[in-house]
Amino acid sequence: MPSTPEASENESESRRLARILRDATAGTEESAERASARLAQRAEEAGLVDVLYATTDSPLGTLLVAVSRRGVVRVAYPEEEEVLQGLADTVSPRILHSTRATQDVRRQLEEYFAGQRHTFDVQVDLSVVQGFTRKVLRATTRIPFGSVLTYTQVAGRAGNARASRAAGNALHANPIPIVVPCHRVVRSGGGLGGYGGTIARKVALLRLEGALA
């Protein structure tokens, strides 16, 4: 069967990507790093990858940051296991390391921890959660820097004030902590409540924002 123009174009692109990949595994470490970056960029431009990730240092440990075509899809603390496998299962197995694609959110995280940023100017991708959980996380993104709400208040903003326990479960499983600031949700009466990234980190974040003495 004769090949179509689209098939020929895809084959040509695959050959170029294969050549870049060969370059990335040869030569000095520095040249391999540059070639790897070119591979990630070419694959992204060719639509051959759906999730790109990199790591960034923070006062709370090394964070893994992943972005999809829709926005930031994952921020993971260092002790979290099988993060990439989870992304492969829930978003797409077409995952690639890329410092270029993640540089914006990593820069904003650095500015946040340095006290230079109060809001994140990035799109978030909550496609891995559904229903009430997504509504809770959407409501949470609108809590201002330095402020806190209770689980009941967040549940109410998500459409069901009586579902505070469900709101707590949704926040505990938040796939994009810090950017989606679930640390700003506390118990009624002043208790901190839980946090998927450990209570010590929740305290550190609230202190950074001036919401906790």
Out of 182, 186, 205, 206, the active site residue is: 182
Sheet holding 95-97, edge to edge: 72-76, 63-67, 51-56, 95-97
Q: Has 182 been annotated as catalytic?
A: yes
Classified as helix, coil or strand, 202 is helix
Q: By the 8 A CB rule, do 143 and 181 touch? A: yes
What contacts 126, CB < 8 A, 6 or more positions away? Answer: 134, 137, 138, 175, 176, 180
Of 113, 102, 106, nearest to 145 by C-alpha is: 113
Task: Count CB neighbours of 124 within 10 A.
Answer: 21
Closest CA to 165 of 152, 177, 174, 175: 152
| C-alpha span between 16 and 18 (Å, rounded) | 5
* Cα separation, 38 vs 148, whole angstroms: 43
CA atoms within 13 A on the CB side of 19: 7
Catalytic residue ranges: 182
